Amino acid sequence: MTIHIGAEKGDIAPTVLMPGDPLRAKWAAENFLSDARLVNQVRGMLGYTGTYHGNPVTIHGSGMGMPSLSIYVNELIRDYDAQTLIRIGSCGGMQPKVGIRDVILAMTATSINTPSAGIFKEINFAPCADYGLLSAAVEASKSKGAKTHVGGIYSSDVFYDERPDLNEQLTRHGILGVEMEAAELYNLAARYGRRALVVLTVSDHLQTGEALPADQREQSFGDMLEIALEAAFA
């Protein structure tokens, strides 16, 4: 048990999937895990542990943004010895070739700032995915027939962005999409020697203004979740 996680020792599996929304964690556990049980609900942040094809899995919310994710990932690793952490969530597309419902596998994560900036000081650290997880996710997405892009994303700490100049340069340099957590997850995985990956569904597009209707988001989220689970145990 930690300050933010009420689970007992042994309640958290070595493999943890992390959606931002705790209600997505509940939905994912109920629909994809066998024998799922609630292991955390401190401050409304829900976590469930069950099995996927016989493999123990925890699905635990991270909250929105890098500071929130940093709290949970630090505690999951330091106090519960989590070994593999996969963020599953939505993002905004930033390239013409990236469409709504497409899957993005984040090979790298660019950011202006992260909670780790005080540790890195003058170092411009390059956060990246675990290659084994990344390559397994590529194969899993192929088997599902999901349109998938692999490359760099941008982790923003501002939801209501007023920097069209920044978005222009990110797009110019090939950034596939924008979200708010990946860079810090990759920082922490590198620090503690753990495996990490970010699997995203494109729910809206910064260039076209197109957005995925609410009633279609669950199915797209399910495809992404299956890719993450298959990659974790490949």
Does pLDDT of 219 surpass 70? no
Neighbours of 112 (CB within 10 A): 13
Q: 84 with 12: CB under 8 angstroms?
A: no
- Report which of residues 97 and 216 the model is more confident about: 97
Q: What is the pLDDT of residue 185?
A: 98
Q: What is the pLDDT of residue 213?
A: 82
**Catalytic residue IDs:** 204
Express each pLDDT in 160-212 by its tens digit: 888 889 999 999 999 999 999 999 999 999 999 999 999 999 999 998 999 98
CA 209, 214, 216, 220 torsion-angle sign: positive
Express each pLDDT in 58-88 by its tens digit: 999 999 999 999 999 999 999 999 999 999 9
Residues 39 and 195: their CA atoms lie apart, in Å, by 22
The residue ranges of every structural domain in the chain are 15-232
In the block, which residue shows the tokens 């999951």? Answer: 76
Q: Which residues fall within 8 angstroms of residue 227, CB to CB, at 6 or more apart? A: 103, 137, 140, 141, 144, 146, 199
Q: What is the pLDDT of residue 172?
A: 97
Residues 163 and 103: their CA atoms lie apart, in Å, by 25
To the question of domain 15-232 being in CATH 3.40.50.1580, the answer is yes
Q: Dmax of the chain from CA atoms? A: 49
Q: 105 with 129: CB under 8 angstroms?
A: yes
Q: What is the pLDDT of residue 225?
A: 95
Neighbours of 219 (CB within 10 A): 12
- Report which of residues 115 and 217 the model is more confident about: 115
